[in-house]
Amino acid sequence: MEDQKYLANIIGRPLSILLSIPLFSENGDYVIYIENQLSDEELAEFFAFMGDRISSLEMTLDRIVLDQEINSASYMWESTFDGIDSPVAIVDKEYNIYRKNKFFNANSKTCFQALGDETSKCNGCPLDQAYKTKKPASNKIEVNEKKYIVHTYPFSDASQSKQLFVNLYTDITKSENLHGQIIQNEKMSAVGNLADHIAHELNNPLTGIRSLAQVLISEQEEGQLKEDLIEIEKATERSQLIINNLIEFSKAGISHKAETIDLAELVAKTIPFLKSVMGQFERNIELAEGVKIKIDPQLGQQVIFNLINNACQSMGDSGILTLQVYSNQNIACFKVKDTGAGIPTKNLKSIFEPFFTTKKEGEGTGLGLSVCKNIITTYGGKIEVASQVGNGTEFTIQMPMVSE
Amino acid sequence: MTVLIADDETIVRLALKRALSVLNCTIIEASNGEEAVEKWNQSNPALVFLDVLMPGLTGPQVLSEIGQNNAKIILMSAYTGEYDMEKARSLGANLFIAKPFEDIFSIVEKAKELLHESR
């Protein structure tokens, strides 16, 4: 009824003023203040009358206060959850997400989908274990090119009917990579010591070969045999150069000698050493003059030698060897290209690692390219490879160019 | 006159032997430390080429085994860090040569000089 709308009509007179009170109070006590002109008898009657009606009002007020408290608590919980600087999610045993924070893709149903668009649970997920043992579990997973440690904490939902899990993910990608790098550095110093050892071992037979060659040369008449022996002696001299470089390399880093040299000249100086391996291939050599870099010339030659040697070895009986020296803005470039077998994509990222080799035992140490890369990066440059199986390989070295 | 060459690397012994043939001496070879001591005692060489790092007894150990002797001693080693002229002398050797040998003939010359000294 229309006249039921107004509190005054329901309660009835003799109320004359109804004050409005704010509904939020720190203390939680609510007061209805009624100004009246009743006598004592009438007041008692009035209180009885009001008492009946107040209780429902009280209940409503209590509920409003409770709602506010819940909202505020809920707000604090949500802020905490979202504010955690790692991915957090609440999932069930089928990996369905009940609640996730901002680190996950929106609109994803499962945790593995949300974390990295995966279609099934991540390798190493500890959820199963937590489910079976009903105890927290953790394990390492790798998803979307990142590595995490997942801590999963089982709990039951409020109704005790559902098994849920809180998954906390700690991103360990960086620290793992750092760890990997430390291992790599240790490997490099192991290589250093090994290199030192091998180098000195190699010097033994080499010195014998060279000395014997020198003796034989001195005994020969001019002729083919003498010329061949001279080549042998030169080869041992080159070998000793390489070994010396290896020893230098092994002494905790590379010799930091550097000279300004003309790149084309350095390449030209190295080519004669490769006469025999380069022999039967078609050559495409373009060495621009005036491209200068700063490097230890011996080490530079070692790199050049290594790349050309590799290129020739990959080509078998025939092929085209391309050598280029050129400059690109302020960058000195040296390119070695072959038409050999090419490098499979899966190996490409490993070829600069020490000891990585696809050659048979005894045919290669797997040190060549890693030493080259080390030398080039020490002098501020970089070395890159492009290759396709069946189409050949191209190595490009870029170094800072020295201006006149 | 006898020359003893002690080195575990066959071709090093061969190269030295061939190069030293100009001296017109008897060349005796040993491929390890024990053999070196044995042959040294047997042949009483005037000149000994002694490698430092050999299996079994090392060069310096051979020297201490032999003790007092009449030979001129050339110590050889690839590891130039630890051994040099001073160290070689303190061990009782006359000369130290680093491997690899750059020029075998200069070594022959040095050997000649040493042998002439004792006359």
Which helix (H) or strand (E) segment holds residue A25: the answer is none
pLDDT at A348: 84
A204 CB-contact burial (10 Å; exposed 0-12 / middle 13-18 / buried 19+): buried
A320 contacts A281 by C-beta, under 8 angstroms: yes
Residues of B in contact with A207 (CB under 8 A): 12, 15, 78, 99-101
pLDDT at A16: 56
A349 CB-contact burial (10 Å; exposed 0-12 / middle 13-18 / buried 19+): exposed
Q: What angle do CA A254, A260, A261 make, to 5 degrees?
A: 95
In total, chain B counts a number of residues equal to: 119
A142 contacts A150 by C-beta, under 8 angstroms: no
pLDDT at A252: 46
Question: Other CB atoms closer than 10 Å to residue B94's CB: what's the count?
Answer: 19
Q: How confident is the model at residue B119 (pLDDT cuts 50, 70, 90)?
A: very low
Tell me the two tokens of residue A56: 């429902």
Which of these, A198, A205, A210, lies nearest to A371 by C-alpha position? A198
DSSP state of A96: B
For B:18-77, CB contacts with A below 8 A are: 18-19
CA–CA distance, B92 with B69 (Å, rounded to integer): 10
CA–CA distance, B14 with B27 (Å, rounded to integer): 10
Picking from B18, B79, B100, the nearest residue to A215 by CB comes out as B18
Picking from A200, A211, A218, the nearest residue to B79 by CB comes out as A200
Residues of A in contact with B104 (CB under 8 A): 210-212, 214-215
Tell me the two tokens of residue A340: 């050999």
Mutate: best of B10, B18, B54, partner A, most A CBs <10 A: B18
CA–CA distance, A404 with A323 (Å, rounded to integer): 24
For residue B50, the distance in angstroms to the closest alpha carbon of chain A comes to 13
Q: Which residues contact A354 (CB under 8 A, 6 or more apart)?
A: A187, A188, A191, A366, A367, A370
**Does B9 contact A at CB distance below 8 Å?**
yes
pLDDT at A352: 83
B73 contacts B94 by C-beta, under 8 angstroms: yes
CA–CA distance, A171 with A146 (Å, rounded to integer): 7
SS3 for A98-111 is EEECCCCCCCCCEH
Q: Which residues contact A286 (CB under 8 A, 6 or more apart)?
A: A323, A324, A325, A326
Picking from A215, A218, A240, the nearest residue to B100 by CB comes out as A240
B110: Cα within 13 Å, side-chain hemisphere: 17
A154 contacts A130 by C-beta, under 8 angstroms: yes
Task: Return averaged pLDDT per consecutive 10 residues of chain A, 404 residues in all.
Answer: 56 58 59 71 80 78 85 85 85 88 80 82 86 88 84 83 87 76 63 70 89 93 92 88 71 66 91 83 91 88 88 88 92 94 85 67 58 84 92 93 80
pLDDT at A2: 57
Q: Report chain B's mean pLDDT, rounded to a whole number.
A: 88
